[in-house]
Structure 1
Amino acid sequence: MGSPSAFFVICILHSLIAITCGALMMFYMKEIYTFGHGVQTATKLLGSTPHDQLLIRTSDSFSGLLLFAIGFLLFMVSFVKDREFQTFFAKGCTLLHVFMALWRIYFERRVEALAWDWLRQTVGDILLALSWVFLLVYSWREKYD
């Protein structure tokens, strides 16, 4: 399996994750909150007044739509054959996941309702970043061997 096909596989996997999570965020946010955080925390995260609930549902729907669009973009990028672009894109995705992990470490863990989940989500961000690092190392090894 060469570097271009590894790029394709990683992009498709990340695309499927983003599209699935985005669709779930748009249509099944209450169930996702309950599954991921438990009933008590989900109740807090969904808001206490009807106005708050509407704002939170709207925000979650737009966030899910953005994640869905990112997944679709990843799907389109997976067909690019230019190795320089693939390397540039993998570095950017790695940086994005590292910044997301840092965001969770420095800010999200301070939110009382999410204090128990930040570590699990940070590990997920790091694993996603490592998949791009794997691609960079694999393409670097292939280039210089």
Structure 2
Amino acid sequence: MMFYSNEVFVLSHGKDHASKLQGSTPRDELLIRTSDSFSGLLLFAIGFLLFMVAFVKDREFHSFFARGCVLLHVAMAIWRIYFERKVEDLGRDWLRLVVGDIVLGLSWVFFLVYSWREKYD
């Protein structure tokens, strides 16, 4: 995503908003590119963490991890509701992203319910 960020922004937001999301000054562009780099590093770290958790056999740890993921998705939805919707260039997408965060959080809740059902059957 970092290498084709302009194309991704044009595809998702349109040409007008894509130019605004790239930054208007060189300092803004540098900050945005640095932020994109850190998001890519974070995505890699999360993927690596999920890969490591997949090999853990302890059900209690899986429940702990799933609860943490639910809290993370709820926090992200709250962030989008209170802050991201106020950014005028991202204002039309916040509702779709909040629904996506809630659905992802619910998927972890369903995992917890399923694991509790297995535990208490």
Q: TM-score range by the shorter chain?
A: over 0.9
Q: What aligned pairs does 1:38-117 form with structure 2 within 5 A after superposition? A: 38-117=14-93
Q: TM-score, normalised to structure 1's length?
A: 0.78
- Structure 2's unaligned 5+ residue stretches are none
**Gapped regions of structure 1 (runs ≥ 5):** 1-23
Shift of 1:67: 1.5
Structure number with greater CO (CA < 8 Å, separation at least 6) is 1
Distance in 2 between the 1:91 and 1:63 partners?
22
RMSD over aligned Cα atoms = 1.2
Q: Which runs of 4+ in 1 moved over 3 A?
A: none
Give the letter aligned to residue 34 of structure 2. T
Number of residue equivalences: 121
1:34 aligns with 2:10: yes
Q: Report percent identity of matched pairs.
A: 74
1:54 offset after TM fit, Å?
2.2
Q: Does 1:122 align with 2:98?
A: yes
Q: Would you tell me which structure has more helix in proportion to its own residues?
A: 1
